[in-house]
Each structure stands twice: as structure tokens, then as C-alpha cells.
Structure 1
């Protein structure tokens, strides 16, 4: 059965363009269109689409308000379309905060080298976020305990699954109490993509101002978005968050967000390390790239890195995480159930690189235990 899509935009040209792209993929079907946010809310209730594509600026009701109302009444995976401007970035981040799962720029040429690549990217994003529909429609999703509240080392998953199948499951699983490994760290490194803005906000807002070492963040995001995102996080967090600049000295309690369109590397030695910002590179698929930052962290900090790979499409971070693991560093992965897209974390988990699967709502807690703050 095809994935049902509701296309929402006040531009007849853009509605037609998006509809043609979606309908050209056999697994997708546009079941209707809406010309403003109010109409989108009504059609979301009536038609129950699997995915909604949503414009931000519309008459009658804007896209952000529509997202809030849809998520309150009939939660549905929503893909936002945004302009690549500073104001567009702020509005898109507001939409993600309201419950949208992902975004793409309205000018497809800004995200792809040619039309075929842009068409494929839009189709794949819709297919990927459609997979979250059943999860989003569960009753009392945010408060109900789930099996992901139990964190197990990756090596014990198969045994746990076997045991689970042969015995009756507990009615209310107990959350595991974390224990620190005893390792000493000098850097935290986090890589993410689709679903990352919300995931990073959830984690970083739980960290105290006295977090004991620097944090480097790599989020796949356009160049015009990273400054706005860093600024937003900085207003919400107790730690300082900034868009990384070339020459920044890494300081404890500060998170450095890799600038979009470029690569962020670490240079120097522990205690006197600096950020290097270099050209994104024509051959690189991701700008910024998690592999690049993780790889440089492995060379400078060795086993003194606490790293994690969060929700995202693709496998960026796997090779950088492999380098960190070879140096003795710690690598965790976000668990499948709490990911918007279980691509990047799955890549490191399947390769046997990560040592723990963690649900998003417990990652900050786990970090604080590991670094001795809880």
C-alpha cells in the first residue's frame, strides 16, 4: 500500500511541483493538497495521511501553528519546506520544536547537484519519516514506559531477545540504573543528522554549566542554519553553545557546533586544542561531516573521548567512530525506537563499534553519570 501524503502550500506552482515528484515514486501517493494551515489541520484529521509536507509562511494559519495543532489532535510525521535565510532558519527550528520531524529547502537546487538527485532526496525523506507514523500515534507516547527504557550493552542484545521470547514480559519495565565506567575523558563528541536539532536540544538543555570538558557537535545542516541553531541552543542551555570558528580554543562547558557547508577539525593537543574550520570539499557528501570531526578527535584525544551517534539518515560517523574505537574511546548509539531515522546509529551498532544503545530521553542522564556529575 502506498504511503499517503498531504501537500500543504499556498503556492499552486509549488504544490504541483511537489505532488509530481512524490507521485513519480510508486511507493508514494499524494491524496490531497491544502492551501493554508487551517485547511491542513482539517484535512489531517479527516484524511489521516501518513506524511504531511508543510510550508511555513501561509495565509489564514502559518505552518508552525498548523504543526502544533496537528501534533496535538492527530500526530503525523511532518516535513517542512523552508527558505535558506536567517529568518527561515529560525522559523524552521520553531517548526521542529513544535513537532515537525525534518525539513528541506524550497529551492531544491540548494540541496542537490542536479534535478534527479533532488527528486530522489525528497522521495527518500518522505519514505523515511513515514516509518515513524505508527510510533507517533501511540497513546500517551511521551509518558508511557517502553522497552527502550531498559539499556543493555550491544553484545547482550541477542541473548536478551531470546530470553524475552521464552518468558512473559514484565508489565512495566524498570529503567536501568547507570554506572560509570571509570574512564577519564577530555572531550565529548556528538554527530547527528535527520531529527538531530530536537535530539541535541533535549540532551544539551539537561547538562549543567560545570560540564567538565568541551563538546563538539556535528549536525548536518545548511550554512545559513547553523548560526541560528547555535544561538537558539545557547539561550536554552546552561552550558555555552556557539557556532565554531576557526581558531576557537576548546574550553570546558562550551559546545562548538560545526558550521554548515564546511568541515570542523580539532588540532593541537589535549588542554591546548583548537578548532580548525576548512573548506567543505567538493567530493564530500556531508558538509559538515561527522567522520571528519570524529577522526580528528581520535588523533588529538585518543581514548579520552566520550562520543555518540544520534538519529540520522545514512552512515556518516561510522568510520570516524571506528577510528575513535581503535584509539580506545567510548562510542554510544541512540536506540532505534527514539530515532527519527535509524540510519547513522544503526551503522555504528551493526559494525560492532558502539557499546551501548540509549533512548534519547536518557542520554543526558547517562552522560552525567559517566563524567562523574551524577
Structure 2
């Protein structure tokens, strides 16, 4: 039996952009563009008539903007959506809101899209759409409130950077990371995160989390000292590592080729934590397509770190955690709602044993 093609509806107010997106997606035999729409009003009727598997949705459109449409869609007819956004600060901020509303992923329109830049990024768009087709999408009304982790009275212990939490995520990871970070107390151990996300979007993501969380959240900068009560998000276009500098831990950012198909790569982060921290770390792999992070998490576990994988039921896409589990890298598998609590328990238990 042949696998059914992913049926896509393109929603964009630009006729040229609709044509280009159509051409790119249609070039993959596993994808079928079933229709296009210039705005959400037209799209609403086409969704009813065509029943697509995935939508690509522009952010700024006439008659109804993408955010307002997405909120209605996720309330009345939840389905996988890939946001198509401009690589600007405004585009990043709006798209982060879209991810919180339930969009599965984001594809950035290259700045040189009019001269062939969009076609150069065609494989990325196709991969995101195909991954979205396998995503578990929940209605806004069905989303559970963010879990609140218990406050452990270990403030003075966590002032040491002996313990470090490293988290890797991809598709669906924006919401998953939000749940974990908002459940961390202000005296949390330091956390370093690699999320597959475009540049500029990583800064916007960190700023939004920082405005909601008890910990301080920032986009990592090269040379940052890793300190308790802080969460460091890898920039969207650089690999992030953690290195020892005497007794301290320091962030190191660098350019370079893709690793496991990504930059930033979860494998790069996890391997550096395995080397720098050994058993004094907790590694967490969250929802995402592919296998980035599996080898790195295995390196952490072999170095003595505790390792956690998000379970299949709570993942948007059970790809990265599944690969890590099959490799033997995951020590314990948990639903998203229990991961923050387990992180703190492991750090506290490790401290009390020493």
C-alpha cells in the first residue's frame, strides 16, 4: 500500500507567494497542494470543502490577521498549522504568539525570496509540512494548565553550578519548553536549551518566557557564565556548548556546518554537557521530528547524567524522544506535566547524596 500524500492548503495574501509555495510543496511526491486562499475568510470555506491535513498560514493578511484566524481554528477545528512569517522582530513576536496558540512550526520567508531565496529553502518547508502532518494538535480548551513544580528549599545549594540541566527540543518544543520553564522556581538549577528555531525568533522566544517565568530567561551570548536561576536559549543560527572555566561553567557559541541536520544542534549541546559536567547533569529530550539529540543524550547517560525523555502521548511529534529511547539514551520517560518536577527532584536528590 502506498502512503497517502499530505494534503496542504496554502493561505497567503500574496499571489506570488501562493504560487511559489505551491510550486515548492508540489515538487515533493509525498505532498499534494489541494488549494490556496488569499485570506482566512476564503480559507474557512476551503477547509470545509477540501479537508486538508495541514495549513500553511501567513501572519499578516487582510480582513482577518493570521493570529485571530488561528485562535478561532484551534478552538473550533484544531489542525496542524505551519506559520509562514517574515524574518523580522515583528514577525518573530507575532509568530511566537501563534506557536502559543497551537501552531506546530514556523517557516521563515527568506529576505531574498523574490530572487530565488525561497526555492533554496524549499526542502526545509517540505520537511516542516510533512512533520506537521504527524503532529498531535489539541484544542485550546483541551490544553492543560501549566504544571507548577513544588518549591524545594535548596536555594543555597543551587547557587553552585555543579548541577546543570540541558534540554533539547524541536517541533512542538516552544510550548513544551514554556510549560517546563514556567514551572521552575527562582532558585532552580541553571538550564541550557537548544530548540530548533530560526534566528531572531529565539530572542523573541526568550523575551516572552522571561516576562512570564520566575527564573530569568535569556538568549545565550558567547561567554555567558552559567548561574542558578537562569535559563539560556541557544540562538537560532549558532551551535551552543557548555565549557568549564575553572570551577565555573561558560556558554560557548560558534558557527559551523549543520550537525544531525540542524544548527543549533541538540547533539552539540548534549555532548558538551557530557564532557563538562558528567554525572552532575540532567539531560531532557522533548518533542521533535528526527533524531537530533539522541547520540548526545546517550553520551550524557554514559557519563553518568540522569536522562529524561518526553513520552509519546504528550509529544506533538514523537521523533527525537523515540530515537533516544531506542538508542538506550533515555533513563526514564515521562509526560510533559511531570518533567519539571522530576528535574528538580533529581537535582535535589543528587545534592543530598553528596
Task: Check whether TM > 0.5.
Answer: yes
**Aligned equivalents of 2:68 and 2:117: distance in 1?**
33
Q: Deviations over 1:306-356 (max 9, x none)?
A: 111111222211221122111110111112222222221111111011012
Q: 1:136 to 1:321 in 2, by over 3 A?
A: closer
- TM-score normalized by structure 2? 0.85
- Counterpart CA distance in 1 for 2:125 and 2:79 is 17
Cα distance in 2 for residues equivalent to 1:224 and 1:42: 34
Give 1:95 shift: 0.8
Q: How far apart, CA to CA, are the structure 1 residues paired with 2:301 and 2:165?
A: 14
Aligned to 1:197: 174
**Are 1:41 and 2:62 matched, yes or no?**
no
- Cα RMSD (Å): 2.5
The 2-side partners of 1:83 and 1:114 are apart by 13
Query: Structure 1 residues 109 and 290 mapped into 2: Cα distance closer, same or farther (>3 Å)?
Result: farther
Using the TM superposition, give the Cα deviation of residue 76 of structure 1 relative to its aligned residue in structure 2, in angstroms. 0.8
**8 Å CA contact 2:10, 2:22 repeated in 1:** yes
Distance of 2:246 and 2:49 partners within structure 1: 58
Per-residue Cα deviation, 1:192-234 (whole angstroms, up to 9, x for no partner): 11211111111111111121x2111111122222111111110
* Aligned twin of 2:148: none
Aligned partner of 2:21 in structure 1 is 18
Q: Where do 1:281-292 residues align within 5 Å?
A: 281-282=256-257, 284=259, 285-292=261-268
Match of 1:341, SS state, is coil
Change (3 A) 1:115 1:62: closer
Structure 1 residue runs without a partner (length 5+): 144-183
Q: Decide which moves more: 358-367 or 301-310.
A: 358-367
Equivalent pairs counted in the alignment come to 327
TM-score scaled by length of structure 1: 0.81
Q: Which residue of 1 aligns with 2:158?
A: none
| 1:103 CA drift (Å) | 0.8
Equivalent pair of 1:193/1:219 in contact (CA under 8 Å): yes
Q: Could you say if the C-alpha distance between residues 209 and 82 of structure 1 is closer, same or farther in structure 2, counting changes exceeding 3 Å? A: same
Q: CA deviation at 1:140?
A: 7.4
8 Å contact from structure 2 (residues 9, 37) kept in 1: yes
